[in-house]
Structure 1
Amino acid sequence: MKQFVCLLVLVPAGFLTGCSQPASVNGVVPVTGTILHKGQPVAGATVTFVPNLEGRACSGATDENGHFEVTTLQPGDGAIPGRYNVLVAKSEVEGALSEDEALEYMKKHGKEPTITVKDLLPIKYKRRSSSDLMAEVGEGEENDFTFDLID
């Protein structure tokens, strides 16, 4: 009976310990890069690596120097080796209001506020069907890519 009680206590504790570990993907390798537009670094862009055939998508955001590192599950963990279509997007939202401001606007004007999303980079890089950016991520290689976007 003591062994049964011990199992009832230890088995659930083992499950809880396993659940507290962060999720990860086996085989990811570090991937970094730089996004430029007409030769100038792009800050605040979202960079997405979409697998060409099989795999998992990964993404990152550029810093003030246009530098990024991609994440699959854990910050900066990288990408699974393979061929990727690369998408880059940066936009700004005009007319965005807080929830309270939006409610006040609706009371005053009787309609929802107008929100406009403006793309700050060529839209072709935002779509898989039109982006011509590609990356081949290799195992045991330096996976550092520079993409210079043109209009």
Structure 2
Amino acid sequence: MKITLPVPRAAALAVAMLASLVALPGCGESGPTMGRVHGKVTYNGQPVPKGTITFVPTAPGGRNATGAIAEDGTYALQTEAPGDGAIVGDYKVTVAARDDVILDYIPKKAPPPKRLTPEKYENPETSGLTAKVERGSNTRDFALTD
């Protein structure tokens, strides 16, 4: 059995079907609003040469954003993918910078790595560092001191 629709009705049906596909849940861009975040970390005026910077959200249910600190002290945050930044909002910030101890012998107990910045910066409750991430590009520099 063959069904033939008048051309205007067939066109309307095709448009309706196409519109329903476009409106399907899960299609298109979704997710939280992000802001790209980069900057520089210094300690007593000198670039921190390695480590990790972490933005810890102040709002419950948020997600951390982290970045590796390069030799010149610069970093770029990521939440899921390199360079995607952080979810827009307010953060407490931590910096963990340590240098591995290289020995020319094998000790019974390995020595802890040498801290390149004070320990207080490794905890969001004691670091005293905060940042606000906004939509678009954000430059957030941190000057650490003793």
What is the TM-score when the length of structure 2 is the normalising length?
0.70
Which blocks of at least 5 consecutive residues in structure 1 are unaligned?
1-23, 106-111
1:51 and 1:133 map into 2 onto residues whose CA distance is 12
Report the CA distance between 1:76 and its aligned residue: 1.0
Question: How much does 1:147 deviate?
Answer: 0.6
Aligned to 2:51: 45
Partner residue in 1 for 2:141:
146
Q: Which has the higher helix share?
A: 1
SS in 1 for 2:121: helix
TM-score by length of 1: 0.68
**Aligned equivalent of 1:68:** 75
* Structure 2 residue 119 is the aligned partner of structure 1 residue 133: no
In structure 2, runs of 5+ residues without a counterpart are: 1-29
Aligned in 2, Cα 1:39/1:77: closer, same or farther, shift over 3 Å?
same
Judge conservation of contact 1:50–1:56 (CA < 8 Å) in 2: yes
Which structure's residues are more often strand, by fraction?
Answer: 2
Give the fraction of aligned pairs with identical amino acids, expressed as a percent: 38
Q: Give the SS at the match of 1:124.
A: helix
Q: Distance in 2 between matches of 1:82 and 1:25?
A: 14
Aligned residues: 116
The one-letter code matched in structure 1 to 2:40 is: T
After superposition, give the CA deviation of every residue in 1:118-140 in whole Å (9 maximum; x if it has no partner): 21101111111201110000114
CA distance 1:116–1:145, change in 2 (3 Å):
same
Contact 2:58–2:92 under 8 Å retained in 1? yes
Larger of the two Rg values belongs to structure: 2
Q: Is the 8 A contact 2:36 2:135 kept in 1?
A: no
RMSD of equivalent CA atoms: 2.3
1:59 to 57, 62, 66: 66
1:113 Cα deviation from its structure 2 partner? 3.3
Q: Which runs of 4+ in 1 moved over 4 A?
A: none
